[in-house]
Amino acid sequence: MTSWLKGGNARFLPKGQLSSEETEEFVRKKADVRDRLVHQVKAKKGIKKGFLNPERKRKLRELLFKKAAEDMKAEQERKAQERRRILEERIGHDKHSALNDAKALGEVCRQYYERVLKLVESSYDLEVKVRVKDYEINEMTIQVNDLRGKFVKPTLNKVKRAESQ
């Protein structure tokens, strides 16, 4: 093929200067180039500037919902396990339902009584601490209010500039 065909100027040539093989090859190459350009333009139009198209958004939303549901389920399971552990720690096992001996039952009752006494003592101590803290808070608020009352902001009068200089 001659160099003047490569420039794309074949349409300006007289018909008789090209052989039929050259013409067919030129038309085929021209069609290939046109197809490539059309595909490039379509590909550019198809690709949006944003990364998320509606389908990707939907899939991402579904994945986020699944992940959130799994996290919530795991959190609920963790809380339930923590609750069972705390109840087990506070209540303990039922070791005494099978006891028939009066002496053993009396010992169990004595242990429970001592435990109840300790709990009542600790709750009373906490109540006293709360009362003391409430009293301190009330005293401090009274002091703050007294301090606020002593320093009343004076009303400011307008002063002319000529008088101040």
- 126-136 confidence digits (pLDDT tens): 999 999 999 99
- DSSP code of 49? S
From first CA to last CA, the distance across the chain in angstroms is 100
8: left (phi over 0), alpha (psi -120 to 50) or beta: left
Identity of the residue numbered 78 = R
Are 122 and 128 a contacting pair, CB within 8 Å? no
Q: Which two tokens stand for residue 23?
A: 């013409």
> By mean pLDDT, which of 46-55, 64-73, 139-148 is the weakest?
46-55
Q: What angle do CA 24, 28, 32 make, to 5 degrees?
A: 170
- Cα–Cα distance between 79 and 86 in angstroms, integer? 10
pLDDT confidence of residue 125? 96
Q: In the structure, what pLDDT confidence band is assigned to residue 48 with cuts at 50, 70 and 90?
A: low
Domain-wise residue ranges, the chain: 3-46, 50-92, 100-149
Question: What is the value of pTM for the model shown?
Answer: 0.35
Nearest partner of 2 among 16, 20, 21, 22, judged by Cα? 22
Q: Who wins on pLDDT, 92 or 83?
A: 83
Arithmetic mean of pLDDT over the chain: 82
What mean pLDDT do residues 22-33 have?
Answer: 88
